[in-house]
A and B are shown apart, each in its own frame.
Chain A
Amino acid sequence: MNETMIAWAFFAGKILLLFGLAFGFIAPIMVWVERRVCALIQDRYGPNRVGPLGLLQTLADGIKLLLKEDLRPNEVRPWFFILAPIICVIPATMAFAVIPFGPPTTLGGLFAEPKRLQIAELNAGFLYVLAIGSLGVYSIALAGWASNNKFSVLGSLRASAQMISYELAAGLALVSVVLLSGSVDLVKIVESQTYLWNIFPGFLAFLIFLPAIFAETNRTPFDLPEAEAELVVGYHTEYSGMKFGLFFLAEYVNMTTVSALAVLMFFGGWEFLPFLPWKDVGVDVNGLIPLFGGFSLPAVIIPFSWFAAKVAFFMFLFVWVRWTVPRFRYDQLMSLGWKTLIPLGIFNIILTTAVIVFHRMS
């Protein structure tokens, strides 16, 4: 194997790993987790028939969705009706491309230089995530509009307004993190918090960021666009079969993305504990872990798993919040966004800047 082929294989491996995880593992597991946790919270069993602990339930659901008849109501606007779920998945997937899932590594000496565990080695990754994240609104808007259904339109209107508003809040919160880390490169942001995680100096930013990502992903307590009681299920009322499945999938992928972002921005990414990075524990990310029989694994698997665990915690948080917190009213949602989070975000930026400037001067 020459170096070019190794590089290509590495590239393909990253893609496969990430997207395999995202679509083949995280989404199905999350569906199962959601239902099980829901049941746990509501003191019932949840799916437990298909496979062990009902783990194959999602697979069965997926097969059902794929095999279902592709219904298309008469009054919908045809092209856009089909387009909407497609462009729902695209941004969700694209955002994944710049999420680093481990420290730059030589994979146990496979490469001369440490390589980034990131599909697209973009140095403005943070902006890219924001940019792509803001596109998710199109699919929702289109879906509602194309359905030609009053509930759907209302749902998508709500979704658009909500996502535009909270995008601002999230962006403002993240700007202060960028100020703290001094870079927009996600890898560098993580490296900057080797010891001091951004959650400590940027706690206010995190307080803004957390509700903002809940709203961004249209999750409870901000799931107004699909509020069943008011709007049936909002923008995807008219969708069924795999088109609905795509919306469903995108939601979980988005959740994963924002969870990963939260971990990367605030919780030190793949680092072990605050003030205790892997290298102080003795883990060399470029090294190898010997296994039985002469086999060995790259040591980078450890930070990667730790990162995955942190993301999983956030995903769990999503689920946890969903089944415990009641839904906001729409005007409350808007006033929270515009009258609390955004001013707070601006104040936070000014405060952070002032502190940084003061710190540099002294």
Chain B
Amino acid sequence: MEIQQILFFSFAALILLSAALVALRPRPIESAMWLILNFFLTAGLYILLGSNFVSIIQVLVYAGAIMVLFVFVILLLNLDPREFGSEAGLPWTSLVMFIGFLTFIVLSLHVATPELMKKLPEIKETGAGVFGSIESISMVLLKNYVWGFEIAGVILLLALIGVGLLAYRKPPVRARAIHTSTTDTMKDGGAS
């Protein structure tokens, strides 16, 4: 077995392990931590697959932005166990796990065919650069998928506006009063 395969299997095992822990740990912060680890491992997997740019984006966006947001909200709420709820009962958990396992089996049956068992091809040039490099991806993205790219931008903008609307609260009266009084004092200080 080559080193790449060893790496793949160890990464795969760790990804699955961390995914399981994301699903099974009761506290959100633990789930989030395991998910961050999962994302790092997935980024490693992407490097193995040759998609370097995707791998960096995985770290930059998923681990660096999205998960930070999660951790930030978890910190902000600073929940104790009473506030994030009790655990599901064993029957429900086992039912869900069973269905999950069944789904995995059926999905795997779909792809466990001889023609999908052949090895992945070697990486080659795609014209703009090596496969998976930033040049190659951006050429395709901005040539063939420019509408998708623009729509993604619009979606992000909409999400930004929506989140702003959802999260905005008028500052409570007291805080505003304090703010104005400080500025007043400052003015007074300046005058005298």
Contact = CB atoms under 8 A, between A and B. Distances in A.
Contact of B74 (A145, A164, A184): A145
Interface string B1-45: 000000000000000000000000000010001001000000000
B68 A145 contact: no
Interface string B65-77: 1011101101110
B137 to A, nearest CB: 11
Given A145-B78, A157-B75, A138 B36 contact: yes
Interface string A295-328: 0000000000000000000000000000000000
B68 A160 contact: yes
A153 B65 contact: no
Q: Secondary structure of the A side of the interface?
A: helix
A124 B36 CA distance: 21
Contacts of B74: 145
8 contacts: A80-B29, A131-B60, A135-B63, A141-B75, A142-B71, A153-B78, A160-B71, A167-B64
A167 B69 CA distance: 13
B48 interface: no
Contacts of B68: 134, 137-138, 141, 160, 163-164
Contact of B76 (A122, A142, A157, A167): A157
A153 B75 contact: yes
A233 interface: no
Interface residues of B, number: 23
A127 interface: yes
Contact of B64 (A80, A134, A145, A161): A134
A161 B60 contact: no
Interface stretch (B51-59, B94-102, B106-114): B51-59
B158 interface: no
A42 interface: no
A145 B74 CA distance: 9
B60 to A, nearest CB: 4
Give the 5 A-B residue pairs with the shortest CB-CB distance, closest first.
A134-B64, A131-B60, A131-B59, A127-B56, A160-B72
Nearest to A123: B133
A124 B52 contact: yes
Nearest to B59: A131
Contacts of A131: 56-57, 59-60, 63-64
Contacts of B159: none
B162 to A, nearest CB: 17
Contact of A157 (B33, B69, B72): B72
A234 interface: no
B65 to A, nearest CB: 7
B106 to A, nearest CB: 36
Contact of B56 (A124, A135, A153, A157): A124
B71 A124 contact: no
Interface string A129-165: 0111011011001101100000001001100110110
Contacts of B71: 137-138, 141-142, 160
B91 to A, nearest CB: 30
A11 interface: no
A128 interface: yes
B134 interface: yes
Nearest to A163: B68
A134 B65 contact: yes
Nearest to A157: B75
Contacts of A138: 36, 67-68, 71
Interface string B97-130: 0000000000000000000000000000000000
